[in-house]
């Protein structure tokens, strides 16, 4: 397995840090409990809950797209940051409204952020971490003073409705933060980051059609070729291994130890994966925030939705040191640390 790419400690000494100053989330109103999935597929509420920790998820109705969720979350994050201006919008998503153009410019336009830089990032379930690093990089490079980073996905739009292994897991949602230029000593300052990938295992999580490998023709793609597929068991083991390894790497870069972390907010892929990461790191499971029971796996929205849930429940409080981490298709993984700031609840 290739070692995680070496990335210089971030920010460079004396450089500008990206500081989290707003948080907003949104999930579509329709709630699908396990029983609704069990009513049409060969599965049960007991199996899904015992094997994944999920009880229900939010699902978009036909006609609702990723941008609709991203706009709602973005609006709330801007309000929380008390701003109506950003220099860049980074949208992490694997379920864009369409393959071309990127979804971010449309989201920016609908948020009244015309003329700001806007682009999509696709790192599947690690998207939000890659988005944060991109936003922080724009700030550190002096390209932007404020950046809106949104993680939004509607995986239920690409799931094979007859596949019990994936239909039981995924839900839809969006979460966003506003980053502003600040100093590394401030609460909310992000970094360092650890980001990595392993393309040898690209086939473990895929959508076969819709890209250049299967070129566009006048005939529709093979039936089912546009559905999402995942080799669950292999991914499960790698998710634990890589998220635990990335957490250790980022802590080393930060000069921190595991005991310095008050809360771990990591990708909500499976409750057993959260337990596995806690176990591998030798950390108590109650330091790991979990909202997977209510939202399922929401891909790029997972980490900000978990952050919001933890703030609402009081599990995450200003001043606490939090480690963010994720793992997803690509394969990709990433982590960062910050001291949680005082934010305006919206």
Region of 343 (left: φ > 0; alpha: ψ -120 to 50; beta: rest) is: beta
Binding-residue pattern over the window 262 to 291 for ligand UT7, x denoting contact by CB under 6 A: -------xx--x------------------
**50 contacts 34 by C-beta, under 8 angstroms:** no
CB of 130 to ligand UT7, least distance (A): 14
Annotated catalytic residue, options 34, 122, 270, 297: 297
Burial class (CB in 10 A: 0-12, 13-18, 19+), 11: buried
Stretch that binds ligand UT7, among 87-95, 145-153, 163-171, 218-226 (CB under 6 A): 163-171
125 assigned to active site: yes
The residue to which tokens 């399922």 are assigned: 296
In the bound state with ligand UT7, the residue whose beta carbon lies nearer, of 135 and 328, is 328
Q: How many residues interact with ligand UT7 (rule CB under 6 A)?
A: 20
Which H/E stretch holds residue 134? Answer: helix 127-140
Binding of residue 242 to ligand UT7 (CB under 6 A): no
Which of 21, 58, 267, 291 is catalytic? The answer is 267
Q: Give the shortest CB-202-to-ligand UT7 separation in angstroms.
A: 13
Cis peptide before 11 (omega within 30 of 0): yes
267 is catalytic: yes
Number of Cβ within 10 Å of residue 1's Cβ equals 12
Nearest CB to ligand UT7, comparing residues 89 and 309: 309
Q: Under rule CB under 6 A, which residues in 117-136 are in contact with ligand UT7?
A: 125
Between the alpha carbon of residue 116 and those of residues 72, 169, 200, 327, the distances in Å are 18, 35, 36, 29
Is residue 328 part of the contact set for ligand UT7 (CB under 6 A)?
yes
Task: Give the nearest distance from C-beta 166 to ligand UT7 in angstroms.
Answer: 7
- Which residue's CB is nearer to ligand UT7, number 19 or number 167? 167
Work out which of 168, 195, 261, 266 binds ligand UT7, going by CB under 6 A. 168
Whether residue 270 lies in the annotated active site:
no
Task: Mark residues 292-311: x for contact with ligand UT7 by CB under 6 A, - for none.
Answer: -----x--------------
Q: Name the minimum Å distance from CB 273 to ligand UT7.
A: 6
Q: For ligand UT7, give the closer residue by CB, 22 or 53.
A: 53
Contact track, ligand UT7, 34-53, x by CB under 6 A: ---------x---xx--xx-
Touching ligand UT7, residues 51-110 (CB under 6 A) = 51-52
Shortest gap between Cβ of 23 and ligand UT7 (angstroms)? 22
In b/e form, how buried is each residue of 132-145, taking b as 16+ CB within 10 angstroms? bbbbbbbbbeeebb
H or E segment at 243?
helix 232-254
DSSP 186: S
Pick the closer one to ligand UT7 by CB: 58 or 164: 164
Distance CA 267, CA 288 (A): 10
Long-range interactions of 279-283: CB distance < 8 A, separation 24+: 280/240, 280/241, 280/244, 281/244, 281/247, 281/248, 282/258, 283/258
- 3-state class (DSSP) for residue 1: coil
d(CA 67, CA 9): 33
CA separation for the pair 115, 88 (Å, rounded): 9
Nearer to ligand UT7, 153 or 308 (CB): 153
Q: Which stretch binds ligand UT7 (CB under 6 A): 69-77, 134-142, 230-238, 316-324?
A: 230-238
Q: Catalytic residue numbers?
A: 125, 267, 297
Q: Which residues bind ligand UT7 (CB under 6 A)?
A: 43, 47-48, 51-52, 125, 164-165, 168-169, 232-233, 235-236, 239, 269-270, 273, 297, 328
């Amino acid at each position: 397995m290739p070692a995680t790419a070496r990335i210089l400690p971030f920010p460079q000494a004396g450089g500008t840090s990206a500081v989290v100053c707003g948080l907003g989330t949104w999930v579509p109103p329709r709630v699908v409990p396990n029983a609704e999935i069990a009513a049409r597929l060969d599965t049960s509420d007991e199996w899904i809950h015992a094997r994944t920790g999920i009880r229900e998820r939010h699902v978009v109705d036909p006609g609702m797209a990723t941008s609709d969720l991203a706009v709602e979350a973005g609006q709330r994050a801007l309000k929380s940051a008390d701003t109506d201006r950003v220099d860049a919008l980074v949208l992490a998503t694997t379920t864009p409204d369409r393959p071309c153009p990127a979804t971010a410019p449309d989201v920016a336009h609908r948020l009244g952020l015309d003329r700001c830089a806007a682009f999509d990032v696709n790192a599947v379930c690690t998207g939000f971490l890659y988005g944060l690093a991109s936003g922080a990089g724009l700030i550190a490079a002096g390209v932007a003073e404020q950046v809106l980073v949104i993680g939004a996905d509607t995986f239920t739009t690409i799931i094979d409705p007859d596949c019990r292994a994936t239909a039981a897991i995924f839900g839809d949602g969006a979460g966003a933060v506003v980053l502003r230029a600040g100093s590394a000593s401030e609460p909310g300052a992000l970094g360092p980051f650890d980001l990595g990938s392993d393309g040898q295992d690209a086939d473990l999580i895929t959508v076969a059609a819709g890209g250049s490998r299967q070129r566009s023709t006048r005939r529709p793609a093979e039936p089912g070729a546009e559905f999402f597929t995942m080799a669950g068991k292999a991914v499960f083991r790698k998710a634990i291994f890589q998220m635990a390894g990335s957490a250790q790497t980022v802590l080393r870069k930060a000069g921190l130890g595991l005991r310095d972390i008050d809360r771990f907010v990591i990708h909500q892929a499976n409750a057993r994966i959260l337990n596995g990461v806690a176990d591998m790191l030798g950390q108590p499971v109650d330091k790991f925030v979990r909202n997977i029971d209510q939202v399922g796996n929401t891909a790029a929205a997972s980490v900000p939705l978990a952050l919001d849930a933890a703030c609402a429940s009081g599990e995450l409080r200003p001043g606490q040191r939090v480690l963010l981490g994720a793992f997803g298709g690509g394969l990709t993984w990433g982590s960062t640390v910050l001291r949680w700031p005082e934010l305006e609840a919206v």
